[in-house]
Copies of this chain bind each other. A is one copy, B any other.
Amino acid sequence: MTDPTHKSPTDRTKIRRLPELANHDQEMLHTIIDEAYVCHVAFRAGDDVHCIPTAHWRVGDSIYIHGANGSRMVKALLSGASASVAITHLDGLVLAKTAFNHGMNYRSAVIYGCFDLIENDDDKLAAFDYFMEKISKGRKDEVRRGNSKELGATSLLKLSLEEAAVKVSNAVPSDSEKDIDRQVWTGVLPLAVVRKSPISADNNAIAAPEYVQHWAD
C-alpha cells in the first residue's frame, strides 16, 4: 500500500501558526517543488546563517541542488549539519476591510534534513538528465552532457523529502461584523509566474524545437 500523505509532522515541521493551512498531500508537495525552478537554502557556516537561492529539481522523493566544488554552501551542506530548504509560490494579495485582516494566498514547502553528496559519475549524469528534462522536455538528447571534467567540478547534492512542512492559503477576505459596513473594496489581487516569448541567441542558427515554440503557450 502506498501512503498518499507525507510523514507525520516533526517538531520542526508541525505548523503552529494557522495550523488549518497545513497540507499533508504528497502531490501538493511535489507540485510546489516542480513548479518552481529556484529554492532558498538556509544553512549554518560557523556562527553565521545564510539564505541562498539556488536551482533545484525533484526525482521521486528527493530534491537535488548543485554547486561549485568547495563553495561555502556546498561545504556547509556537507558538514553534517541539518539544512532547511524553502519553496514558495505567491498566488495573490488578499485585501480586507481592515489592515489587520489583509493577507496573502500562497503555497509553500519547507524541507528539513541533511544533504547527501552524489559522487558516482553515472548517478550524476542520470540526475542531471532529470534537471534538463525539467528545463525542457527532450532537450537532454540534444545537448552535450557533462564530461568528466565538468562533472568533477560540480557537486551534486540530494535531500530526502521525508521531513517537509507544506502550507497552502487560498482564502477570500474575511472581516468581523463590526467592520463589515466600512466602504472599502474587498477581494484578491492575483499574481502568477508566466512564460514569456523565447529569445534566440544572436548566433543561434537552429530552428526552434517544439519545446521552445510552445514555451509561452
Contacts and interface: CB of A to CB of B under 8 A. Distances in A.
B185 A53 contact: no
B209 A185 contact: yes
A63 B112 CA distance: 26
A142 B184 contact: yes
Contact of A146 (B42, B48, B99, B140): B99
A183 interface: yes
A42 B48 CA distance: 10
A21 interface: no
Interface residues on A, range: 35 or more
A42 B173 CA distance: 29
B190 A196 contact: yes
A136 B188 CA distance: 12
Given A51-B86, A100-B150, A193 B193 contact: yes
A118 to B, nearest CB: 15
Interface of A: 12, 16-17, 37-38, 40-44, 47-53, 55, 67-68, 71-72, 81-86, 88, 90, 92-93, 95-100, 102, 104, 106, 108, 110, 112, 128, 132, 135-136, 139-140, 142-147, 150, 154, 172-173, 179, 182-204, 206-209, 212, 215
